[in-house]
Structure 1
Amino acid sequence: MAGALMNVLRLARAGVVLAQYGVRFVPPGMKVPAPLLIARALTVPIRAVTWPFRARQPKSARITEALASLGPSYIKLGQFLATRADVIGPELASDLSQLQDKLPPFPMRESRRAVEEALGGRLEDHFSTFGPPVAAASIAQVHKATVADAAGPRDVAVKILRPSVERRFKADLDSYYFAARQIERFHPPSRRLRPVAVVDTLKRTTELEMDLRLEAAAISEMAENITDDKGFRVPSVDWKRTSKRVMTLEWIDGIPIADHARLKAAGHDLKSLGLITLRSFLRHAMRDGFFHADMHQGNLLVDKSGDVVAVDFGIMGRLGAMERRFLAEILHGLITRDYRRVAAIHFEAGYVPQHHSVEVFAQAMRAIGEPIHGRTAEEISMADLLGQLFAYTEVFDMETRPELILLQKSMVIVEGVARSLDPGLNMWTAAEPVARDWMQSNLGVIGQIKDVGEGASTLGKVLADAPQFMLRAQGTLKSLDQMTRDGLRLDETTIRRLAREEARASWSGRAALWIGALSLAAIAALHLWG
């Protein structure tokens, strides 16, 4: 009871703050539970009183200030809701898409204490120089420092978690869960949107962000995945100076990807950078199933060699084999106008309930795809595509897929970055080679060979165990046959009979079983490769 009361008080405080800034998280005309309608009505006087103080302030700026005043977890929540126009309405989702994860830095004395507690000794034992924070976000801030080792002095970036950030997040997440459960309990139409699952995803990603060893491991994993890729790289990790609350990385001396003037002055091709950014993201998602889920302009730099370098790996996304196939075939199907296949993939993946018609869903996909093909390159938008797909989720009873939430959010962000570099970038032309390569590698001849190899490996394991299994089965079947004639008795006599039958298998019987198993293997091989 006390926990519920505390959650109500926390949510009420958040509602008052949002009202003070004139932010409405319940869109007018939207069907919502009665308590939320009452809450919206109660905030009207607050918005009226505070209106003169915010009349000249843009709405997106008000939202940013409101969420920043509520704390780190509300900034993360706002970034998540930016992808859910179906929940909060397109207008508010558009405003939240401008939300930047920035907060005032915490004092240098706190940074010193964090480093010394995490790494032991004094700060000077680990770093030759240690400068003031160069960036501060909701969960951590970054300092530029210098280390001296056998290879000589080098610059590094030191990321440090905010003091007590874990405790604050836990309290706010409890409130989010409380609200999500009440919505699912009292408003059945909202269950399709799976609000508790959305909070689950937020919880998992923030937990990963608050253990910097996991972020370092993510950087290391991506570095292995992209070893042979050109034009995109990640910083190296200094594991010696990395712990749960402190992480040390290679300092990237590059130009922010948003600084187009400096990029042009340095001789970089903006169109090429846009293409690299988009294709790299799609390659990571489809080929590797592991992608940077926060690739906004503030997290991308361009180094002297012209490579795009990603930083801040606190939010990463993973896709299983089924989700990767879904993404690749959706893109490929829309590009090639194979709407029937696009629809079938939705049903095969379980995204659309079976009581709906594949043909009718294909018709809906055609309504999305055909206008895209009729537009110029400047008008084609993956963000628009996702928005239209969301519009059909309710019509076809599609549940929210938590594993795709980060992908949807990230795609919109990456498209924005690529478009800023090349407004004429044709998103479908850019995506087509990546989708095609995935299709050929996984569904073409190479994919079939791979599947055959995996199938042969599995078959080999089964066949290796087959003689022993068949031997045991043979003895057991003889015993069962005898017992059905004599009567089924689970007594001492029956147990002894089972043991005798198990032991009667002779060497010749074993040899016969092995010959049978090898024959099955030969037949299977001819079938697979013939």
Structure 2
Amino acid sequence: MIRAMRNIGRVRAILRTLARYDALFLAERAGIPPRLVRLATRLSGGGRSLADMAERRPGERLAAALQALGPSFIKLGQALSVRSDLVGEDIAADLSTLQDSLPPFPGEQARAAIEAEFGRPAEALFESFDDEAVAAASIAQVHFAVTTEGGPVAVKVLRPGIEAAFARDLDLMDWLAGLAERHLPACRRLHPVESVRTFAEAVAVEMDLRLEAAAGDELAENFRDDPVFRVPRMDWLRTGRRVLTLQRIGTTPIDEADALTRAGFQPDEIVAQMARIFFLQVFRDGFFHGDLHPGNLSVADDGTIWAVDFGIMGRIDRATRYYLAEMLAGFLNGDYLGVADVHIRAGYVPAHRSREDFAQAARAIAEPIFGLPMRDISLARLLAQLFAVTDRFEMEAQPQLLLLQKTMLVAEGVGRTLSPDTNMWELARPLIEGWVAENMTAEARAAEAIGDGVRVIERLPALVAEMGESVGRLAREGVRLHPDSVRALAGGGRRRRRWPLWAGAAVVATLALAAL
């Protein structure tokens, strides 16, 4: 009850902001009865939205509202931008433009954070430290400095109090997701509670800058021998949970095509290198940069491509890489029955669903896209539309692929800015097909199966010990059922499909508070 009352107070402010930006439509899309949405609009001042909102698309209005709600909701909007299965392709596209920028906090607070982290004043670590931030985002901001050894560095510092602010808002999101999962049957397939907790885990990684530094180091290690791709060197002596220090680089932003051309670079060659680098990250390593917007990519005078900001990274296991390669090859070759087979084999589509129906849906998605001129073909759009049919075919959401789709979309945009007539995925196609030919032969799969068997044998002693512990726990404590399971059994398994009376009353009470 205390949690509910605390969160209802926060809901009041959120409703007012959503109404101000004419973004309450999201509640109706979530399955809340239209009569309650209309009541929310009326009680929360929806009729007094900002003057220019009527001319904006729904996704633009929602992005503006989330920007106004602050850091947690900016990050939530960015997370939703990869969930076209939740919000729709158009809204996801608008949310992908959400700018993660906020006014900077004072330089003296950054210095105080550095002293608190390392137990020494900034002057003891840096010969010089610029108090004016060069970039400020929702979680942290960046200052330029020079170390006491004379090395130019960039110093990333978390915002004061950001952990507590996120904890409060994440508790609210978890509470609302729990209500949705219990009382909106249509939402259960999308696992809202699990999605919020996955989002919370991602945010927790971004708020421990040691993990970001480790991700950058891992990416650098993967490309240690690459002649083109570079990652700044991490300064671990000046890196902690709330402070990250890394090598400062002097480069040209990758979307400044004219400047790169004047420097003697060929934009289409840069796009080709981007396609190669992205392919290697996804298929060779299964570890990719998940935020490839132009601010995080740049080109040095020697033609090397540099990446920064490793707070959002994606991992794809080998089985998913097999699925992805086979699925893309099927689409590129027009083998739609093959695309259906891949989805069923991977377990993404239940086996009882019609193979032919899924192939028909795949054809309907792909043909309009592949019928475009080569420069306009978008594999990211193809994946987005594929994810949009999840409900029809009972497909479970795949978070790692959703992040990949968003990253591909951003990379496509960068590529088109550099060289509008070049399609980076056509350049990557031979690499993908070569990877399939090399890694999916019977010999390669047999070798992998042998390796998996060896790993299982190595784990057998631990598995036996865990089994013994589980049996002992059952003997001591018996079987415990979740309260929801007990209630379901007591109710004879009846399913309640109507919006519960008490839940509706709670929403109305919240809306009444919002009107105060």
TM-score (norm 1): 0.80
In structure 2, the residue matched to 1:216 is 213
In structure 2, the residue matched to 1:83 is 82
Contact 1:292 1:316 (8 Å CA) reproduced: yes
Deviation at 1:61, TM superposition (A): 6.6
With over 3 angstroms needed to count, the CA separation of the structure-2 counterparts of 1:129 and 1:3, relative to structure 1, is same
**One-letter identity of the residue aligned with 2:273:** I
In structure 2, the residue matched to 1:370 is 367
RCO higher in structure (CA 8 A, sep ≥6): 2
In structure 2, the residue matched to 1:6 is 6
**One-letter identity of the residue aligned with 1:265:** R
**One-letter identity of the residue aligned with 2:108:** R
Helix, strand or coil: the match of 1:235?
coil
Choose the corresponding residue for 1:408, options 399, 405, 409.
405
With over 3 angstroms needed to count, the CA separation of the structure-2 counterparts of 1:370 and 1:39, relative to structure 1, is closer
In structure 2, the residue matched to 1:276 is 273
Give distance in 1, aligned partners of 2:191 and 2:456: 40
Give distance in 2, aligned partners of 1:367 and 1:318: 30
2:263 matched to 1:266? yes
In structure 1, the residue matched to 2:485 is none
In structure 1, the residue matched to 2:36 is 38
Contact 1:335 1:428 (8 Å CA) reproduced: no
Q: Which moved more, 1:451-460 or 1:295-304?
A: 451-460
2:173 matched to 1:179? no
Deviation at 1:445, TM superposition (A): 6.9
Post-superposition Cα deviations, 1:430-458, rounded to whole Å, max 9, x if no partner, equal 23123123213321377257437627856
With over 3 angstroms needed to count, the CA separation of the structure-2 counterparts of 1:386 and 1:122, relative to structure 1, is same
In structure 1, the residue matched to 2:200 is 203
Give distance in 1, aligned partners of 2:453 and 2:82: 43
With over 3 angstroms needed to count, the CA separation of the structure-2 counterparts of 1:143 and 1:459, relative to structure 1, is closer
Helix, strand or coil: the match of 2:338?
helix
2:306 matched to 1:309? yes
Helix, strand or coil: the match of 1:362?
helix
Give distance in 2, aligned partners of 1:271 and 1:447: 34
**One-letter identity of the residue aligned with 2:322:** R
In structure 2, the residue matched to 1:120 is 119
Deviation at 1:261, TM superposition (A): 2.1
Choose the corresponding residue for 1:241, options 238, 242, 249.
238
In structure 1, the residue matched to 2:512 is none
Post-superposition Cα deviations, 1:372-413, rounded to whole Å, max 9, x if no partner, equal 333211221123202320232111111212332322222222
Contact 2:158 2:243 (8 Å CA) reproduced: yes
Choose the corresponding residue for 1:333, options 330, 335, 342.
330
Give distance in 2, aligned partners of 1:367 and 1:81: 25
Deviation at 1:89, TM superposition (A): 3.3
In structure 1, the residue matched to 2:18 is 18
Give distance in 1, aligned partners of 2:437 and 2:89: 37
Give distance in 2, aligned partners of 1:76 and 1:156: 26
Post-superposition Cα deviations, 1:200-250, rounded to whole Å, max 9, x if no partner, equal 221111110000000000001111111233422211101111111111101
In structure 1, the residue matched to 2:469 is none
Helix, strand or coil: the match of 2:134?
strand
Deviation at 1:42, TM superposition (A): 2.2
Helix, strand or coil: the match of 1:355?
coil
Give distance in 2, aligned partners of 1:363 and 1:178: 39
Give distance in 1, aligned partners of 2:449 and 2:91: 49
Structure 1 moving runs of 4+ over 6 Å:
55-61, 458-462
With over 3 angstroms needed to count, the CA separation of the structure-2 counterparts of 1:170 and 1:144, relative to structure 1, is same
Give distance in 2, aligned partners of 1:449 and 1:414: 35
With over 3 angstroms needed to count, the CA separation of the structure-2 counterparts of 1:125 and 1:175, relative to structure 1, is same
2:170 matched to 1:145? no
Deviation at 1:264, TM superposition (A): 1.7
Q: How many residues align?
A: 459
- Unmatched tracts of structure 2, length 5 or more: 462-516
Contact 2:30 2:187 (8 Å CA) reproduced: no
Give distance in 1, aligned partners of 2:349 and 2:299: 41
Deviation at 1:158, TM superposition (A): 0.4
Post-superposition Cα deviations, 1:308-332, rounded to whole Å, max 9, x if no partner, equal 2111111111111211111111112
Alignment of 1:144-163 (within 5 A): 144-149=144-149, 153-163=150-160
Give distance in 2, aligned partners of 1:307 and 1:445: 37
In structure 2, the residue matched to 1:502 is none
With over 3 angstroms needed to count, the CA separation of the structure-2 counterparts of 1:287 and 1:37, relative to structure 1, is farther
Post-superposition Cα deviations, 1:37-87, rounded to whole Å, max 9, x if no partner, equal 513542257232234376688977755543233121100011111222332
2:225 matched to 1:228? yes
With over 3 angstroms needed to count, the CA separation of the structure-2 counterparts of 1:86 and 1:261, relative to structure 1, is same
2:315 matched to 1:318? yes
Give distance in 2, aligned partners of 1:63 and 1:33: 17
Give distance in 2, aligned partners of 1:94 and 1:458: 42
Contact 2:350 2:395 (8 Å CA) reproduced: yes
Alignment of 1:69-80 (within 5 A): 69-80=68-79
With over 3 angstroms needed to count, the CA separation of the structure-2 counterparts of 1:299 and 1:273, relative to structure 1, is same
Post-superposition Cα deviations, 1:276-329, rounded to whole Å, max 9, x if no partner, equal 223322321221111111111111111111122111111111111211111111
2:120 matched to 1:92? no
Helix, strand or coil: the match of 1:128?
strand
**One-letter identity of the residue aligned with 1:217:** A
Post-superposition Cα deviations, 1:76-110, rounded to whole Å, max 9, x if no partner, equal 01111122233223443232121110011110111
2:80 matched to 1:109? no
Give distance in 2, aligned partners of 1:199 and 1:460: 36
Helix, strand or coil: the match of 1:103?
coil
Give distance in 1, aligned partners of 2:372 and 2:55: 37
Contact 1:382 1:427 (8 Å CA) reproduced: no
In structure 1, the residue matched to 2:129 is 130
Helix, strand or coil: the match of 1:133?
coil
Contact 2:27 2:37 (8 Å CA) reproduced: no
**One-letter identity of the residue aligned with 2:258:** A
With over 3 angstroms needed to count, the CA separation of the structure-2 counterparts of 1:455 and 1:58, relative to structure 1, is closer
Give distance in 2, aligned partners of 1:202 and 1:303: 34
Deviation at 1:360, TM superposition (A): 2.4
**One-letter identity of the residue aligned with 2:349:** V
**One-letter identity of the residue aligned with 1:139:** I
Contact 2:60 2:95 (8 Å CA) reproduced: no
Give distance in 2, aligned partners of 1:456 and 1:396: 33
Q: Which moved more, 1:407-416 or 1:58-67?
A: 58-67
Give distance in 2, aligned partners of 1:392 and 1:227: 40
Post-superposition Cα deviations, 1:462-486, rounded to whole Å, max 9, x if no partner, equal 9xx9xxxxxxxxxxxxxxxxxxxxx
Give distance in 2, aligned partners of 1:74 and 1:409: 18
Helix, strand or coil: the match of 1:366?
helix
Contact 2:229 2:304 (8 Å CA) reproduced: yes
Give distance in 2, aligned partners of 1:434 and 1:41: 55
Contact 2:88 2:388 (8 Å CA) reproduced: no
Identical-pair percentage = 44
Give distance in 2, aligned partners of 1:254 and 1:413: 20
Helix, strand or coil: the match of 1:101?
coil
**One-letter identity of the residue aligned with 1:134:** V
Give distance in 2, aligned partners of 1:399 and 1:279: 30
